[in-house]
Each structure stands twice: as C-alpha cells, then as structure tokens.
C-alpha cells in the first residue's frame, strides 16, 4: 500500500505541477502584477505538493474501490445470459441517443449547464438498460425469429456447459472445518469427488490464523489443515485451486462463503452443521461430509446380533455403551455389569440424529445367571 501511495503521489505531483503552470497567468492577473521566477516556482511547488498529498492518501483506497467495482461488474457480466446482454446494450444505446438529443437544451442552463449533459448521459443510459432488461420478453417477441432461435441455442449450450460460466459452477468450495477434518482428502482419493476444489483466500487466511494461535489445540488443528491442503495438491487426485475473493471483506468467513457460492454457482463442502443448514435455507448447494459418513455406515436391522465391547456406563441406570468399528454408538440395556467385556447383543432399534446414527440393543441370553447391578 505504501509503495502504491508513492506512485500516486508522483502522479499527483506531475498533475499539480501542470495545473499550477496553467494557473500562473490567472494568478498574475488576479494580483495585477508580474510574477517573479521564484514566485512562479513556489506556486508550482505548492500545487504539486497539495495534489501529491491528496493522491498519496486518496489514490490507493480509490484504486481498491475501482478494482472491486470492475470485479463485481465482471462477475455480473459473466453470469448474464446472451439475451440479457444484447437487450441491455440496446437499451443503453437508446438511452444515450435520448441524452444526446436533450444535451443542447441542458447546456444552455446557467451555472449547471456544463455538468447536466454528463449526468443526463449516465442516468438515461442506466435507465435504458434497466427498462430494456425488464421488458426483455416483449423486446425479443418483436425481433426476427432467426435471432430468437440463435439466442436460445447459445443460452442452452451455455447452460449445458457450466464451466463456460467462469469454471465455478461445477466446483466445490472447501470451508475451514472440512479442511481441518481431513476426511475430504480420503474422499478425493476414492474418485467420488470431481474438481476443482476451490480454497478461497479468506479460508486460507483463517487457517493461518488458527495455525498461529497461542492455544495449543487450535494451533495443531490449523497446522493439520495446512498439511492436508499441501498433501491434496501434491497427490493430484483432484484439482485444488486457490481463489482470491475480495468482496464482502467486512463479513465473517461463513457469510463470505455463502456469498461466494451464490455468486459463482459452486457448492460448499463442510462439516459444520449450522453452516449446512443456513446454506440449505439460502438455496446454496452444500455437501456435508458428516451426512456422507452417516449414509455410508452399515445399516443394522432390529433383531440383528452384534458383538460389542462395553467400555462405559450409559446415561440411564443399568445401561452400557459400546461402539462399532465405524464409530457408531451402541447403547445396551442392562449392560452396566458387562463394562470391560465383549458380549453378544441383539439390536432393538436404530435411531439417526444430526450427529450420527445410534443403535439400541439388549444382551442376548447367554445362559449366564443375571446378577444384581
């Protein structure tokens, strides 16, 4: 930013010097005397210094705003259909023609006559675009049939090739939780996920902040996430793309993810339950790794027998808790006395929750005398 400020200051000094040079005569007339060489040089330096200072402080922020505006306009244009673009251009031309017709009259107005034509050109051009797009169907209805058929064909081809809309609509955006979780790397190795996988710059920044955290647990998670990203890029099972997204910098990471997914048509890969629900509410495509893991767990039916190692007591009196190899919790009634043992149980019920699948069972009759808990 400081380097850019120096460039803007140099440009401002040049512009200020030129402006001061052209103002030397009006200044001399104002003071009703000739200016000496030193006075002229002083005036040039004052103008150059003032404009340079203004450019130094205002130039870099203005350049950032212009760049964001261009990026926003580019994204909007890329997502627009060919019909919208053609109709919008036609409306712009009509608006500019009308503004040129009324320019002579506006220019005769005292004081503001030099400014009004430019304002009218911008305003009427914008109104022409908005009106034309709002009446798109009516305008297309009066165009030649060959033109309508061509526009429809091109639009259909564009929809059939999502990559033509910027290459994002078939992509998946990774959020921080999915990267730290690590299972996305294993899923990519299986070939079930097609790329590209998009890692926004603000997600990468959040990973770096977590990796630099003073909290040891957070620091380890952040470093794990960065290592997983590096491994995914090296293994080349799927394309991993680092993408800059400078819009909505004042929002938090989750909201920026949703905005980016909406703007690009990409889906979000996450393990965050809340983010997944908000994405569904806002009609943003989401791939929840936890839902995938639950769907891949083996289906257990009532009456099926399992061998479970009871590792701890349950919440309710007399219950014992064990786990299947895939991590599914099994709650066994009247199994508190079997803690630390492997027993055969019979499934009585299977319940699926947002956190995963839970199996309820009871010990199978083994001929062993029941003991008091």
| pLDDT tens, position by position, 285-318 | 889 888 888 777 777 778 888 888 999 988 888 8
Residue 321 lies in domain: 298-363
Q: What angle do CA 252, 253, 255 make, to 5 degrees?
A: 70
pLDDT for residue 166: 42
pLDDT of residue 110: 80
pLDDT band at 97 (very low <50, low <70, confident <90, very high): very high
Instruction: Return the residue matching tokens 């200044």.
Output: 27
Whether residue 369 is contained in a domain is answered as no
CATH number of the domain enclosing 304 = 2.40.50.140
pLDDT at 163: 42
Number of DSSP helices (H) and strands (E) in the chain, helices first: 13, 11
Give which of 249, 373, 277 is closest to 317, Cα–Cα.
373
Indicate whether 370 belongs to any domain. no
**The domain boundary residue, chosen from 45, 79, 113:** 79
Report residue 202 as tokens. 């603000």
User: With contact defined as beta carbons under 8 Å apart, do 353 and 366 qualify?
Assistant: no
Q: Is residue 226 part of a domain?
A: yes
Do residue 190 and residue 257 come from a single domain? yes
Split at pLDDT 50, 70, 90, the class of 6 is confident
Question: What does the pLDDT read at residue 132?
Answer: 87
pLDDT of res. 29: 81
| pLDDT for 365 beyond 50 | yes
Residue 371 falls within a domain, yes or no?
no
Shared domain for 26 and 147, answered yes or no, is no
Residue after which a domain boundary falls, among 79, 104, 136: 79
Closest CA to 266 of 195, 209, 337: 195
- CA–CA separation, 58 vs 324, rounded Å? 63
| Secondary structure class of 225 (helix, strand, coil) | helix
Q: Which of 59, 79, 99 is the last residue of a domain?
A: 79
Could you give the CA distance from residue 11 to residue 311 in angstroms, rounded to a whole number? Answer: 74
**The pLDDT of residue 159 is above 70:** no
pLDDT at 208 over 70: yes
Would you say residue 325 has pLDDT above 80? no
Averaged pLDDT score across all residues of the chain: 81
Residue 308 burial (CB < 10 Å; 0-12/13-18/19+)?
buried
């Amino acid at each position: 930013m400081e380097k850019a400020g120096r460039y803007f200051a140099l440009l401002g000094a040049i512009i200020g010097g030129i402006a001061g040079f052209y103002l030397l005569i009006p200044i001399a007339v104002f003071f009703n005397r000739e200016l000496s060489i030193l006075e002229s040089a002083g005036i040039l330096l004052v103008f150059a210094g003032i404009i340079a200072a203004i450019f130094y402080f205002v130039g870099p922020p203005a350049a950032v705003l212009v760049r964001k505006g261009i990026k926003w306009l580019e994204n909007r244009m890329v997502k627009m259909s060919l019909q919208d673009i053609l109709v919008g251009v036609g409306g712009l031309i009509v608006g500019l023609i009308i503004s040129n017709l009324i320019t002579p009259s506006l220019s005769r107005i005292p004081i503001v006559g030099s400014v009004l034509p430019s304002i009218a050109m911008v305003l009427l051009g914008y109104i022409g675009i908005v009106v034309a797009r709002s009446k798109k169907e009516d305008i297309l209805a009066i165009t030649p049939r060959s033109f309508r058929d061509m526009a429809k064909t091109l639009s259909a081809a564009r929809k059939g090739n999502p990559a033509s809309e910027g290459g994002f609509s078939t992509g998946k955006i990774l959020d921080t939780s999915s990267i730290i979780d690590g299972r996305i790397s294993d899923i990519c190795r299986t070939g079930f996920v097609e790329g590209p996988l998009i890692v926004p710059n603000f997600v990468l920044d959040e990973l770096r902040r977590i990796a630099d955290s003073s909290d040891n647990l957070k620091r380890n998670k952040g470093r794990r996430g960065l290592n997983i990203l590096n491994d995914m890029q090296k293994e080349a099972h799927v394309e991993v793309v680092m993408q800059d997204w400078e819009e909505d910098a004042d929002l938090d990471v989750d909201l920026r993810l949703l905005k980016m997914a909406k703007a690009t048509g990409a889906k979000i890969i996450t393990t965050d339950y809340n983010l997944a629900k908000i994405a569904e509410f806002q009609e943003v495509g989401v791939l929840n790794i936890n839902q995938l893991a639950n769907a891949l767990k083996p289906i257990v039916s009532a009456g099926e027998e399992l061998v479970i190692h009871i590792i701890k007591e349950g919440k309710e009196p007399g219950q014992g808790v064990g786990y299947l190899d895939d991590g599914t919790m099994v709650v066994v009634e009247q199994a508190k006395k079997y803690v630390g043992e492997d027993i055969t149980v019979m499934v009585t019920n299977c319940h699926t929750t947002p956190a995963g699948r839970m199996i309820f069972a009871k010990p199978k009759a083994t001929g062993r005398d029941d003991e008091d808990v």
